[in-house]
Amino acid sequence: MLGFGPHESASVHGVELDRLLWVTIVITGIVFVLTHIALFWFSYKYREREGHSAKFISHDNRLELIWTITPAVVMTLLVFSGLDVWNKIMPDIEDKSELVQLEVTGFQFGWILRYPGPDKEFGARNFRKISGSNPLGQDWTDTKNHDDMHVSKIVLPKGKQVRVKITARDVLHSFYLPHFRVKMDAVPGMPTYVIFTPQFTTEEYRQKLKDVPEYMIPADAENPDGPKKWEAFKYELACAELCGTGHYSMRREVVVVEQAEYDKWLKEQNSYYLQNIKKKEATPKHEEPSDDVSVNMEKMLSDGTGAIKLEHVHFKTGSAQLTEDSWPELNTLARTLMAHKGLKLEVSGHTDNQGNDTANKSLSQKRADAVVIYLKKSGIGQTILVPKGYGETLPVATNDTPEGRTLNRRTEVKIISESH
């Protein structure tokens, strides 16, 4: 079945939806063309000319009936077949245990993705509990929360029904999976949902794109000006609501895999509670530094001094291009910054001592700039960020071992001034 738009539907229901759109376009298209031909033909044929005066009909009951009833019947048929499709897409499901469940929460500017964990139930949330280390406001006294997992991309098994619960934390967003023909508003305070079944794995979909012309292949998001490659195709989640200046940065990857691979991936995901909350409580102070940027950030702000290292921010070798694994930490940092007013922070880049001093200094400056640009795009409220490249001048470990050099290549954030 031909897709509506350049891409075939990656979900089961999308095929039906595409068909409906084609039927509507064909019917309304034919009517559009015929009525316009008639419009011009009639005004030409009955024009005033010698021996012929223009005809004037003020009223005709039969005509009125025909052009009221005909469109009404056609519209009713279209609407009812639409309703029929809608009811098929959104069935009432009593037993949710067979479903793949996922919760997405939109915020300015990103998505927080939550899977319910082995108990297959989401824990309770309360917006009053939202904090830097608890972005969803999960109630930790509800044990259903303890196995819930926060993930960085949506992974789904092929052929399984998926139910996505959709909410928003601030303004209206819209959960949009173009390839799956899924779009639903994310409304603060009013959860919505969609149900769909992926029918092709990412790999299968890539094979389909192999034979289509290059202009129909979406650009590589990391390298939009580069060549378009079917091998690099990724399903994506976008926000379809113009929700603010960082709107475009609400892109997330969606991966569809076979069931076995999905099960394996699911096993590798950690409970947010055990990983970020319980562990922290159990760790006495002044032990291992935490790697949760929001926790470290809050601590630095309450101390009013110090610097924190961004543990998960990395760059492609020799370049100032952030690697994809840096995004979650930077998103968390941006969320934390949004919650504070009047901060002035320095974002510093540091390198090891390999290579030339001037080049290191310029690279570290570019890297600090890249982090600041990313954070600004994600929304940082009124925070002022000053990027600074120190090159190799401030090592924190020896440059004589590879481990030491790894520690020296880092990005840090420190307070310059603070006014509450």
| Tokens read off for 61 | 């009951």
CA-closest candidate to residue 235, choices 196, 276, 289? 196
CA 261 to chain centre: 22
359 with 319: CB under 8 angstroms? no
* Shortest distance (Å) from residue 241 CB to Cu ion: 5
Binding residues for Cu ion, total number by CB under 5 A: 4
188 secondary structure, DSSP code: B
Segment near Cu ion (CB under 5 A); pick from 6-14, 130-138, 238-246, 270-278: 238-246
* Shortest distance (Å) from residue 170 CB to Cu ion: 9
Beta bridge partners of 154: 254
The CA-CA-CA angle for residues 108, 112, 113, to 5°, reads 150
H helices, E strands: number in the chain:
10, 14
Compute the CA torsion angle 106, 112, 113, 116 (nearest 10 deg).
Answer: -110
Beta bridge partners of 350: 410
The CA-CA-CA angle for residues 367, 370, 371, to 5°, reads 90
Q: Give the residue carrying structure tokens 């370049």.
A: 319
Closer residue to Cu ion, CB minimum distance, 150 or 173: 173
Does position 243 bind Cu ion by CB under 5 A? yes
| Tokens read off for 402 | 């590879």
Closer residue to Cu ion, CB minimum distance, 106 or 389: 106
What is the helix, strand, coil percentage profile of the chain, to 5? 40, 20, 40
Closer residue to Cu ion, CB minimum distance, 241 or 329: 241
Helix (H) or strand (E) holding 337: helix 327-338
| Binding-site string for Cu ion from residue 248 to residue 287, where x marks contact by CB under 5 A and - marks none | --x-------------------------------------
Helix (H) or strand (E) holding 418: strand 410-418
Segment near Cu ion (CB under 5 A); pick from 25-33, 170-178, 333-341, 364-372: 170-178
Does position 168 bind Cu ion by CB under 5 A? no
Q: Residues 194, 239, 338, 368: which binds Cu ion (CB under 5 A)?
A: 239
* Shortest distance (Å) from residue 244 CB to Cu ion: 7
Closer residue to Cu ion, CB minimum distance, 82 or 244: 244
Does position 169 bind Cu ion by CB under 5 A? no
Closer residue to Cu ion, CB minimum distance, 3 or 178: 178
Backbone angles phi and psi of 103, in degrees to 5: -120, 135
Does position 153 bind Cu ion by CB under 5 A? no
User: Per CB under 5 A, which of residues 173..192 are in contact with Cu ion?
Assistant: 173
Coil vs helix vs strand at 259: helix
* Shortest distance (Å) from residue 107 CB to Cu ion: 8
Before 109, cis peptide (omega within 30)? yes
* Shortest distance (Å) from residue 21 CB to Cu ion: 25
Helix (H) or strand (E) holding 28: helix 12-45
* Shortest distance (Å) from residue 9 CB to Cu ion: 24
Segment near Cu ion (CB under 5 A); pick from 22-30, 132-140, 166-174, 302-310: 166-174
User: Per CB under 5 A, which of residues 46..105 are in contact with Cu ion?
Assistant: none
Closer residue to Cu ion, CB minimum distance, 345 or 375: 375
* Shortest distance (Å) from residue 108 CB to Cu ion: 7
Segment near Cu ion (CB under 5 A); pick from 1-9, 190-198, 233-241, 381-389: 233-241
Residues that bind Cu ion (CB under 5 A): 173, 239, 243, 250
